[in-house]
Amino acid sequence: MHLGPDAPATQAAFHDFLERAAREADALILAGDLFDAWIGDDVALRSPDAWLRASMAALQHVSARIPLWLGRGNRDFLVGSRLAQHLGARLITEATLLDTAAGPVLLAHGDEYCVEDQHFQRMRRIVHNPGVQAVYLALPLSMRKRIAAWARERSKQANQHKAPYIMDVTPAAIEDAFRSAGPEVRFLVHGHTHRPARHHVSVDGRDCERVVLPDWDFDHAGAQRGGWAIIDGDGVHLHQHDGAPQPNC
């Protein structure tokens, strides 16, 4: 969703979705990058901006009615247990095997599978280091904001010179994820790449599916996109924001 102060239309669409999920779903799992940037739970709990206060209230409304889980993405990997507790949610810190009506489903943010992007993976290892995170979170708020803005701008510039396949998942990494999850796992659901689709994957002769969640953007001309996956006894279903299923690939 990449929520932030500059995405009011996206935020409104997401809040509508939350209300629908609270009415119709048995549980809601958000797979990371809920926020466009996150520099520490203390900021949200101490003095949240109006947009953040509204989104936290919407999430609390969901958690009061159905179970809510928060995953971490590459933009909001510093989301922690304090925020989850404040929202009445549970925190997912890494790829997780879900026990569902469709059988076991592997859920991940997806950035861990983009192994061809060696620069990104090197930076990912650094920022996920608990010691580095502790030092960063101990810095004054103004310094944290400057570092986050610098890192985001550097990432944008670097991505302009990368081939598209580098920023997508690596097939071998996906196959390894299925193998590690176990032979009974047929579905992997992830986001991150902004390339929503259903991909058929053959893993050691086993038919599997990789379901890629869409990103959300209702604030830029011509964008108007978003969506979600529904997991039920019939499998995993990928939906656009208007409710039309995504085609298979």
Residue 28, CB half-sphere, CA atoms under 13 Å: how many?
Answer: 27
Are 31 and 108 within 8 A, CB to CB?
yes
What's the CA gap between 242 and 236, in Å, rounded?
17
The DSSP call for residue 38 is: -
As a dihedral over the C-alpha atoms of residue 168, residue 121, residue 238, residue 223, rounded to 10 degrees, the angle is -70
CA dihedral 191, 167, 4, 225 (to 10 degrees): -60
126: helix, strand or coil: helix
| pLDDT value of residue 244 | 47
Task: State both tokens at 175.
Answer: 């196959």
| Token pair 């502790």 in the structure block, residue | 134
Beta bridge partners of 225: 217
Tokens of 15: 């809040």
Helix, strand or coil for residue 35? strand
Length of the chain: 249
Contact 215, 191 (CB under 8 A): yes
For tokens 């958000």, name the residue: 30
Rounded to two decimals, the pTM is 0.91
**Per-position pLDDT tens, the chain of length 249:** 999 999 999 999 999 999 999 999 999 999 999 999 999 999 889 889 999 999 999 999 999 999 999 999 999 999 999 999 999 999 999 999 999 999 999 999 999 999 999 989 999 999 999 999 999 999 999 999 999 888 888 877 776 767 777 779 999 999 999 999 999 999 999 999 999 999 999 999 999 999 999 999 999 877 689 999 999 999 999 998 764 445 455
CA 25 to chain centre: 19
> The tokens of 4 are what?
């932030």
Which strand (E) or helix (H) includes residue 19?
A: helix 8-24
Q: What is the pLDDT of residue 47?
A: 86
Q: Which residues contact 60 (CB under 8 A, 6 or more apart)?
A: 87, 88
Candidates 84, 72, 3; CA nearest to 41 is 84
Query: What is residue 167's predicted lDDT score, i.e. its pLDDT?
Result: 79
